[in-house]
Homo-oligomer: A and B are copies of this chain.
Amino acid sequence: MRKASITIKEIARQLDVSKSTVSRALRDSSEISEETKKRVIELAESLNYSPNPIALSLLRNRTQTLGIIVPDIANPFFSTAIGGVEDIAYSRGYHTMIYQSHESYERELADTRHIAMRRVDGLIVSISSQTENHDHFIELQEQGIPVVFFDRVSESTPSHKVRVDDYKGAFEATEHLISRGCKCIAHIAGPPNLSISRNRLKGYQDALTKHGIEFHDEWVVSSEYNQAGGTERAYQLMALKNRPDAIFAASDRIAIGVHWALRQLGYRMPDDIALVGFSDLSISSLLDPPLSSVAQPSFEMGQLAATLLLDLIESKSTPAAFETRVLTSNLIIRQSSMKELVSN
């Protein structure tokens, strides 16, 4: 189906000028008269001339394009953060191309290589839960394409990073459950490869320790950050001889799976069992009972990541030091965890 594309040569032939004149006219060079520029541009438009992107990029050494890789665009946390990236990118004259890794290291690697091939000016990424080797990001940086991480950051890659205070969010969620009288608090953690999973687990453990509550290995299980995993792990926890009276889930997608399982199994929230999630997705407040959750400023995280990346791209020099910006999480208490306090 592809037609031969219109070239600068063709425009030069039709106007009987040199290729270099056409090329300089299209670049708005001051060496070319306004009259000639007008003729070149009009003909280029009428022929539907698309400038060769590499020619442009060689001229300016820029493509005005950012790549974004997230594990899963269907996760509202990521789609909202992408909205934040786009908001800043568009306002500064950049396009964005979105890729998803589907939680696969191989896909993330293929996406990164495609991005290098297509010569974007920079990459914003939240890594897949299967990624243990981070060399592909370092290679991209060595090719002159800066990388900024958000939420799921690479600890081993020197770069700017934007995340929330996962430790504090998890600590406060667990402390809230303790304050409602829960004594047997289980945690469904995320995949241990991800620093967000490890930080949330640590926050949970430290809150228990602070309040002198015993830590049970059997009450900590791990799941992918999705609904199906939450349902399976809820079955496992509620099947224990020694059942928990509260579950803190490392994400709302996990918590939504738990919520569904608990209702199915006949438990009432929060009386039989209290539940808290992490990210505060917009649907969490629509569940019955509405889900308590640790809110993350996802749109702002995307905006900040884009700002840091564009500053890197537009500055001519490597920054003296890379920054890690930690935004504040915020516990939103709803009915799923508002257990009645029984006086002793």
Contacts and interface: CB of A to CB of B under 8 A. Distances in A.
Interface of A: 1-3, 5, 48, 50-55, 61, 65, 72-74, 76, 79-80, 82-83, 86, 90, 95-100, 102, 107, 110-111, 114, 116-119, 139, 142-146, 227, 256, 259-260, 282-283, 286-288, 312-313, 315, 317-318
Contacts of A313: 1
A139 B47 CA distance: 11
A317 B102 CA distance: 35
A316 to B, nearest CB: 8
B48 A1 contact: no
B95 A98 contact: no
Q: Which of A98, A317, A318 has the most CB of B within 10 A?
A: A98
Given A53-B54, A100-B86, A118-B53, A144 B312 contact: no
Contact of A287 (B53, B102, B286): B286
A71 to B, nearest CB: 12
Contact of A312 (B1, B3, B114): B1
Contacts of A260: 286
A2 B99 contact: no
19 contacts: A1-B318, A2-B61, A3-B143, A3-B144, A5-B143, A48-B142, A50-B117, A50-B143, A51-B117, A54-B55, A65-B114, A65-B118, A73-B73, A74-B80, A74-B83, A86-B100, A96-B99, A97-B99, A283-B286
Contacts of A111: 95
A250 B315 CA distance: 48
A260 B76 CA distance: 19
Contacts of A315: 1
B116 A50 contact: yes
A118 B118 contact: yes
A99 B100 contact: no
A61 B5 CA distance: 10
Contacts of A119: 50, 53
A256 B283 CA distance: 9
A97 B100 contact: no
Contact of A1 (B65, B86, B144): B144
Contacts of A76: 74
A163 to B, nearest CB: 21
A256 B286 contact: yes
Nearest to A116: B50
Contacts of A143: 3, 5, 48, 50
Contacts of A54: 52-55
Contacts of A72: 79
Contact of A283 (B3, B48, B145, B283): B283
Nearest to A317: B1
Given A2-B145, A118-B118, A287-B288, 13 more contacts: A1-B313, A2-B61, A5-B143, A50-B143, A65-B114, A73-B79, A74-B83, A95-B110, A96-B99, A97-B98, A98-B100, A256-B286, A286-B287
A226 to B, nearest CB: 11
Contact of A114 (B61, B83, B95, B288): B95
A126 to B, nearest CB: 14
A1 to B, nearest CB: 5
